[in-house]
Structure 1
Amino acid sequence: MFTHVVLFKLKENTRKNVDFVANTLKAMEGKIPELKEIEVGIDELHTDRSFDVCLITRFDSVDDMNEYQIHPYHVNEVLGKIKPYIEVSKVADYIK
């Protein structure tokens, strides 16, 4: 299983913005065949090191993750909508 983790720091950390980003990410469930598991979390501690939203996605392979990256729903309905809200994002990818 290949895991792709993305941490998002928003430009404006309001509850409305955080909920919008989190719900937009969650909406991918069931819409991209290669995406086997999805988990979205919202930061609770709000420390200096914290990011606002965490996305954990799982795929059968790196190739499937690459297909997900270019899938029209991911590109248009997710990235296209949340990009204006994002200040910075960081990723970690691993095989388990």
Structure 2
Amino acid sequence: MITHIVLFKLKDGSTESVERTAQVLRDMEGKIDELKSIEVGLDVIHSARSYDIALITKFESLEALEAYQVHPVHKKVIEHINEVREATAAVDFVS
């Protein structure tokens, strides 16, 4: 199993903006066969080092993660993220 975690810091950290982007991420559920699980979490601390959203996804293999990366549904999400993000950080690991 591969766990893929991405943190997002948005240009606009308002509740509305964060929730809108979180919903865009959640909307991938059930639309990409390779995506075995998805969790979207919103920051509750709001410190200077905090990111706004955490995306935690799981895949059966690195090949499945690679297929997800180029899936049309994911590509539409990337378009949205590219418009709203200030910064991202990611980690992928065997779980």
Identity of aligned residues (%): 45
CA distance in 2, matches of 1:68, 1:90: 18
- TM (norm. structure 1) is 0.96
Which ranges of structure 2 fall in alignment gaps of 5 or more residues? none
Which residue in 1 is equivalent to 2:46? 46
* 1:79 Cα deviation after fit: 1.1
Structure 2 counterpart of 1:3, one-letter code: T
For these two proteins, the number of residue pairs brought into alignment is: 95
| Amino acid in the other structure paired with 1:74 | H
> Where does structure 1 lack aligned partners over 5 or more consecutive residues?
none
Q: Which runs of 4+ in 1 moved over 2 A?
A: none
Partner Cα distance (2:71, 2:29) in 1:
13
Cα RMSD after superposing both structures: 0.6
TM norm structure 2: 0.97
The corresponding residue for 1:87 is 86
